């Protein structure tokens, strides 16, 4: 038996070798080298190759000019964890499940680096944020996985990565480099700050975080000045990162890898500068948040100087890279291979073969999703229209609800056409959004009260015979641990079977939380207090029309709004039907949980990821 098997192997081996030789960059004897560079928080329209008026990215421009640039590439989420998880799994956020701080990537999801490692690649991952740590599953498939935090500037990250590349240059390698410089705080090296900072402006004093927190309070002229200064520092960071990519490229030239290594430049999401009333990222799904750079460069295997206008998504990265390396793609993912759009044309007697866009890439529907500091919001892009689904809710200084934009005639997304639509177009796009079974309609119970910052302590119990499967907060929710000690919990996701206990200190304006009972018609009992005193008289349940005097509220259509101008004397409870992550139940049952340490929570808070006290 053994001999027969050996004979089969001998026949099979030459075929395998042939496949390996035929695939990939340079058509050399080994699998093609790949360097994936993710520049965190880099919005597409701040790169000169994407039309920015300042020359922020000379090196990346060069890679784009000699490679393939996708002009309409979209992230799957406006913040680091879910978007990078999409990059590595080819799945949309509600499928890979890493949609909040305390959820890791679904264990059964295939990971990009794992596929490369299984195929014999040397794999090196160099990351500079906790959201890309092994706690979330990002180390899966990396031989070498290095996480540097806080002060890990691009020079340090590139330094580590290029040493690893040097040591592995004789092998086929996959390197992933994550650069965090462009993210807040905007503190580029002086040379790069000076290059962009308006000469007529005094230096900004105070931390980026402090400055960001007051932008909304300024009058329009003062605000414009602040935004100019902040944008200049942001651009300085971009230029600095670009200079470090140039340094990496020089090293590749020294290693003689520059012509046969695929370099991919991508970002996880963008950054907003008050275009829609907010700063930073994570909260909205406008293009300044989800339109990202997407560039492929390799002289030996990638088309030269091509700009592709077909809309693509971060979920396409994994299947494209596997396809490029001649490796098998997982079949049950959302992404599609873009190989046909990036590969070098073949010389034919009539000239170069034209780019062929596969049928399935032409009419596709792209998705993005976030739950950052609020309920599920998601958008769908198709045929030049972006439809954003959002329940009515308030975040920071803005109210949110459903929106729809024509991205062709209104690139800056200023005119919400849902207001003019007779309902037909919105209905069509809502149907597209719901088609993938990623979202489900659920009954949500809302508990709200009016408050003043730090003033009162609200507490209570909400119990049901059934499970309460999810919740979100408007401010920090406190809970007691097993010893009865008060513990701050930013999320209401993990409640005891059938009960939520909470203690919350007042924030200015509307305070409270929302929750989803399972099943939807589960009976709920509310026990609510203020400063531990019972409050039966001022709890109002249901729509405000029933008893408008029961609680201080303002009406916005059928939706009650708590107003801080009115006496702060009780709770308002109502329910609504909302679309949300269809896997919420699954998350509670599967439970790939992540519990960041308190030190890590402080780091995340310093970066603006966690709100509250």
| Interacting residue ranges for Zn ion, rule: CB under 5 A | 40, 80, 268
CB atoms within 10 A of CB 453: 13
**Closest CB 187 distance from Zn ion, rounded Å:** 17
Helix axes 80-89 and 317-324, enclosed angle (nearest 10):
30
User: Residue 239 or 268: which CB sits closer to Zn ion?
Assistant: 268
User: Residue 183 or 367: which CB sits closer to Zn ion?
Assistant: 183
**Closest CB 81 distance from Zn ion, rounded Å:** 8
Q: What is the DSSP letter of 374?
A: S
Q: What is the DSSP letter of 501?
A: E
**Closest CB 535 distance from Zn ion, rounded Å:** 42
E strand residue ranges, 51-93: 68-70, 73-74
Q: Name the strands in the sheet holding 291-292, side by side, starting at the edge strand that comes first in the sequence.
A: 291-292, 73-74, 312-313
**Closest CB 130 distance from Zn ion, rounded Å:** 11
SS3 assignment, position 138:
coil
CA distance 32 to 40: 25
Report how far apart, in Å, the C-alpha atoms of 417 and of each of 272, 365, 380 are: 21, 19, 15
Q: Determine the length of the chain.
A: 613
**Closest CB 20 distance from Zn ion, rounded Å:** 35
Report how far apart, in Å, the C-alpha atoms of 313 and of each of 74, 90, 367, 441 are: 5, 9, 8, 25
**Closest CB 181 distance from Zn ion, rounded Å:** 11
Among all residues, whose Cβ is closest to Zn ion?
80
Rg (CA), the chain: 26
User: Residue 183 or 276: which CB sits closer to Zn ion?
Assistant: 183
**Closest CB 98 distance from Zn ion, rounded Å:** 13
CA distance 563 to 508: 10
CB atoms within 10 A of CB 608: 18
**Closest CB 151 distance from Zn ion, rounded Å:** 17
Q: Which of 154, 32, 132, 45 lies closest to 87, judged by CA? A: 132
**Closest CB 464 distance from Zn ion, rounded Å:** 37
User: Residue 268 or 288: which CB sits closer to Zn ion?
Assistant: 268
CA distance 390 to 21: 50
User: Residue 40 or 280: which CB sits closer to Zn ion?
Assistant: 40
Tokens of 199: 């000469």
User: Residue 268 or 287: which CB sits closer to Zn ion?
Assistant: 268
User: Residue 310 or 606: which CB sits closer to Zn ion?
Assistant: 606
User: Residue 61 or 268: which CB sits closer to Zn ion?
Assistant: 268
User: Residue 188 or 517: which CB sits closer to Zn ion?
Assistant: 188
User: Residue 268 or 280: which CB sits closer to Zn ion?
Assistant: 268
Query: In sequence order, which residues have a C-beta less than 8 Å from that of residue 8 and are 6 or more positions away?
Result: none
Q: What is the largest CA-CA distance in the chain?
A: 89
CA distance 496 to 501: 9
Tokens of 229: 């200064």
CB 452 within 8 A of CB 506: yes
**Closest CB 268 distance from Zn ion, rounded Å:** 4
**Closest CB 357 distance from Zn ion, rounded Å:** 30
User: Residue 131 or 491: which CB sits closer to Zn ion?
Assistant: 131
SS3 assignment, position 471:
strand
**Closest CB 87 distance from Zn ion, rounded Å:** 11
User: Residue 148 or 456: which CB sits closer to Zn ion?
Assistant: 148
Report how far apart, in Å, the C-alpha atoms of 34 and of each of 85, 87, 115, 555, 609 are: 18, 14, 13, 56, 31
CA distance 354 to 349: 13
């Amino acid at each position: 038996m053994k001999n027969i098997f050996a004979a089969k192997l001998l026949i099979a081996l030459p075929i395998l070798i042939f496949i390996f030789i035929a695939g990939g960059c340079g058509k050399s004897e080994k699998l093609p080298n790949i360097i994936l560079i993710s520049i965190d928080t880099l919005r597409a329209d701040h790169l000169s190759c994407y039309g920015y008026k300042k020359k922020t990215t000379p090196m990346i421009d060069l890679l784009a000019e000699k490679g393939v640039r996708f002009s309409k590439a979209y992230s799957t989420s406006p913040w680091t964890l879910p978007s990078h998880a999409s990059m590595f799994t080819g799945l949309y956020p509600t499928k890979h499940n890493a949609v909040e701080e305390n959820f890791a990537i679904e264990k059964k999801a295939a990971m990009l680096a794992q596929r490369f490692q299984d195929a014999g690649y040397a794999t090196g991952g160099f990351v500079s944020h906790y959201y890309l740590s092994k706690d979330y599953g990002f180390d899966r498939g990396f031989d070498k996985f290095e996480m540097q935090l806080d002060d890990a500037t691009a020079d340090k990250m590139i330094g580590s990565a290029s040493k690893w590349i040097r040591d592995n240059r004789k092998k086929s390698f996959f390197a992933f480099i994550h650069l965090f410089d462009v993210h807040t705080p905007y503190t580029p090296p002086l040379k790069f700050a000076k290059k962009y900072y308006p000469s007529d402006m005094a230096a900004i004093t105070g931390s980026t975080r402090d400055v960001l927190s007051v932008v909304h309070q300024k009058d329009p002229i003062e605000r414009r000045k602040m935004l100019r200064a902040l944008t200049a520092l942001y651009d300085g960071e971009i230029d600095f990162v670009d200079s470090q990519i140039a340094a990496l490229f020089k090293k590749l030239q020294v290693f003689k890898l520059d012509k046969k290594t695929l370099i991919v430049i991508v970002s996880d999401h963008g950054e907003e500068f008050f275009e829609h009333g907010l700063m930073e990222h994570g909260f909205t799904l406008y293009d300044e948040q989800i339109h990202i750079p997407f560039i492929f460069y390799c002289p030996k295997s990638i088309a030269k100087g091509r700009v592709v206008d077909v809309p693509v998504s971060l979920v396409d990265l994994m299947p494209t890279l596997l396809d490029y390396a001649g490796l098998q793609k997982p079949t049950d993912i959302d992404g599609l291979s873009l190989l046909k759009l990036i590969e070098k044309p073949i010389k034919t007697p009539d000239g170069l073969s034209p780019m062929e866009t596969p049928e399935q890439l032409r009419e596709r529907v792209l998705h993005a999703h976030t739950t950052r500091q609020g309920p599920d919001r998601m958008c769908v892009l198709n045929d030049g229209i972006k439809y954003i689904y959002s329940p009515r809710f308030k975040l920071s200084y803005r109210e949110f609800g459903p929106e729809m934009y024509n991205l062709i005639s209104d690139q800056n997304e200023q005119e919400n056409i849902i207001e003019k639509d007779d309902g037909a177009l919105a209905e069509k796009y809502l149907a597209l959004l719901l088609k993938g079974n990623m979202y489900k309609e659920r009954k949500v119970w809302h508990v709200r009260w009016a408050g003043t910052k730090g003033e009162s302590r609200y507490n209570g119990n909400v119990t049901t015979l059934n499970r309460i499967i999810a919740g979100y907060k408007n401010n920090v929710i406190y809970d007691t641990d097993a010893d009865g000690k008060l513990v701050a919990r930013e999320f209401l996701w993990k409640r005891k079977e059938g009960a939520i206990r909470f203690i919350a200190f007042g924030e200015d304006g509307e305070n409270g939380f929302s929750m989803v009972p399972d099943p939807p018609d589960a009976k709920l009992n509310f026990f609510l207090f203020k400063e531990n005193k019972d409050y039966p008289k001022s709890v109002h349940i249901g729509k405000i029309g029933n008893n408008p005097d029961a609680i201080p509220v303002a009406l916005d259509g059928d939706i009650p709004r708590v107003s801080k101008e009115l006496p702060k004397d009780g709770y308002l409870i109502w329910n609504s039907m909302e679309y949300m992550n269809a896997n919420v139940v699954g998350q509670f049952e599967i439970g790939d949980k992540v519990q960041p340490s308190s030190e890590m929570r402080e780091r995340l808070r310093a970066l603006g990821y966690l709100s509250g006290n």
